[in-house]
Structure 1
């Protein structure tokens, strides 16, 4: 059985194209009598590299039989069957992080690529999640029977892209030591050394300058309200070090547009409408970002940072189900106070189904499935926005 197992391993390794050793090992271990093989134990031993000086190698050789030499090879040359699965998993992770070329790597000049990756331009889901609460608020603030202000929606869409990029830059600058220890983030530009912290800081200044240009096109009340969100943006990355609820703090940050959108259109705030809308966004963020955090829970434990994924553990689905119910309830209250018509509640029912599907079907032990469910939240935001639009047109 041992020789059969060894033959299976060598065949498996041959497919990995380690030819120099594998041909010798195949001849040696498939021979009925290894002594008659064209390769002696010494020749086979000379094909491998074992750490240590020549004396220790010779000593090791003299005390090993033919199976022992092969075992040493498996252990010290990373060919062992025990490590094969780890190597395959590492290969998959490496492929995910290094092998997938985005449009940034194809179309942008080489010097611009680290900055584009720093702003996560190839991962638009963050921009969608930041933009949807703004669009909800702008659409809800429209005059009954009228379409929302298209120019305002374009401004906020551009602002969401810029602010999300700035937030990612701040996050990467503050977390560069942590990112190097987390598989999913170790190749980010600052953590990997593709950009120095100084260059990242200069890029942040450029992003904030562009964001200021967007903000200055709003009314004075909105300028003050928008600028006040920067405190949340700058302090959010620190929360994972202080509390198990950084996702709640992210909710307060990411959904500021639910307040700002209404203020940009109306010039003031209506608490009965915008506060439930803001709360709905915070609860929604607790759902999707807790699912997202389950991708990194093993690494977070090693590094020592906190998240709701670690806080809730096996009770995660119960917790996020409660947040989902609170989100839908708050959206319903906001729509009622804004006098939206019945189409809004029909779309809200569809959005409830999408949220329920996420929560009930997500496999929290699968990074890939957590990411798929997280990305699907762009459709939740779109459904809610469509409902507000039709509810406002018929009001």
Structure 2
């Protein structure tokens, strides 16, 4: 049973976030367990879904179902990002207790019990399943298949220097799912956009991981940030270039009209400019800068989503 007394904020949550300000005190540990106080992860899970919807509208044609797909993906991103974070914290609770940035999370700090976290995980997963069942057979199969990636990701940093690849595989699956929800089929454009999203994830999550390199080294957790070290800017440039090229190829594979191509490629150009700006701002020795740049990727992905949507509607 949780107390009604206020509970302390998580150390890396934005100051003045809505959970700390507005949520009833008894709800706050559960919302923090789902990272509702840090919505950037929900955006990064949702935006590839919207990429898939926009590409489907270009490759085929707009359909009324796309409105529901976009909304269901938004609701599903909240539920499944929360479920994924809960699962991550269950598997990492001992590691989190040893890292300064994460020891204030609800499980290692004792605000939520392990049993309570399992029940919360089940509730969020059930909500995601209900939404998934509205998206058609192909999308349902893809959604079920994604659970394997979600299950593996928290363990990746224990056996590979490239856990960000596993995050990318899981976080960008929505490109495929949303495209399939549009018309029941997949398409090379969706697969190319999926690959672009993985490269983008390697870009932004390597920046994020630079916040914890010292603690990660002490406890033996692997990451691309530790692997690349001072060579990180060069690797990030490669990931950014791969993401932009693959995304542009995905647009071309959707066979847009000249007007659609002009609009969609303008979005890709805006995405490229944003990643270039991030590289210019990068300071891997500054955790505050790394966190700020990581969060800015909501805007980078939103540029693509908005331009693809406009291109699909013209």
Unaligned runs of 5+ in 2: 1-8
The residue number in structure 2 matching 1:172 is 89
What CA deviation, in whole Å up to 9, does each residue of 1:354-380 have, x standing for no partner? 001112221110000001100000111
| Residue 377, structure 1, aligned to residue 297, structure 2 | yes
- 1:391 to partner: Cα distance: 2.6
CA shift digits 1:270-317 (9 cap, x unpaired): 1x2111110000000000000000001111011110000001011001
2:312 corresponds in structure 1 to: 392
User: Secondary structure in 2 aligned to 1:213?
Assistant: helix
How far apart, CA to CA, are the structure 1 residues paired with 2:192 and 2:13?
A: 42
> With structure 1 as the length reference, what TM-score do the two structures score?
0.73
The residue correspondences of 1:221-240 to structure 2 (distance < 5 A) are: 221-240=138-157
Is contact 1:139-1:147 (8 Å) kept?
no
Distance 1:264 1:387 in 2: 20
Please give the alpha-carbon distance, in whole angstroms, between the structure 2 residues aligned to 1:298 and 1:184: 11
| Candidates 267, 277, 280, aligned match of 1:357 | 277
Question: Which residue number corresponds to residue 139 of structure 1?
Answer: 54
Residues 283 and 324 of structure 1 are in contact (CA less than 8 Å); yes or no, is this contact kept in structure 2?
Answer: yes
Q: What residue in structure 1 maps to residue 239 of structure 2?
A: 323
Q: Which piece of structure 1 moves more, 381-390 or 201-210?
A: 381-390
TM-aligned CA deviation for residue 112 of structure 1: 1.4
User: Which residue of the partner structure matches residue 249 of structure 1?
Assistant: 166
1:264 aligns with 2:184: no
Residue in 2 that maps onto 1:111: 26
- Deviation, structure 1 residue 196: 1.0
- Matched residues in 2 for 1:184 and 1:157: separation? 28
Q: Cα gap change, 1:97/1:260 in structure 2, threshold over 3 Å: closer, same or farther?
A: closer
* Cα deviation 1:1-53 (Å, max 9, x = unaligned): xxxxxxxxxxxxxxxxxxxxxxxxxxxxxxxxxxxxxxxxxxxxxxxxxxxxx
CA distance in 1, matches of 2:294, 2:177: 25
CA distance in 1 between partners of 2:39 and 2:11 (Å): 17
Aligned equivalents of 2:74, 2:61: Cα separation in 1: 23
Matches of 2:267 and 2:12, distance apart in 1: 37
SS of equivalent residue, structure 1 residue 221: helix
TM-score of the two chains, using structure 2 as the length reference: 0.91
**Aligned counterparts of 1:147 and 1:220: Cα–Cα separation in 2:** 17
Distance 1:194 1:282 in 2: 34
Q: Does 1:186 align with 2:106?
A: no
Give matches, 1:1-395, under 5 Å: 96=11, 100-142=15-57, 146=62, 149-270=66-187, 272-340=188-256, 341-394=261-314
Maintained 8 Å contact 2:13/2:38? no
The 8 Å contact of residues 10 and 104 in structure 2, kept in 1 or not, is answered as no
SS at match of 1:283: helix
Cα deviation for residue 98 of structure 1 reads 9.2
What is the count of residue pairs matched by the alignment?
300
Contact 2:47 2:301 in 1 (8 A): yes
Change over 3 Å in CA distance of 1:130–1:99 after alignment to 2? closer
RMSD: 1.8
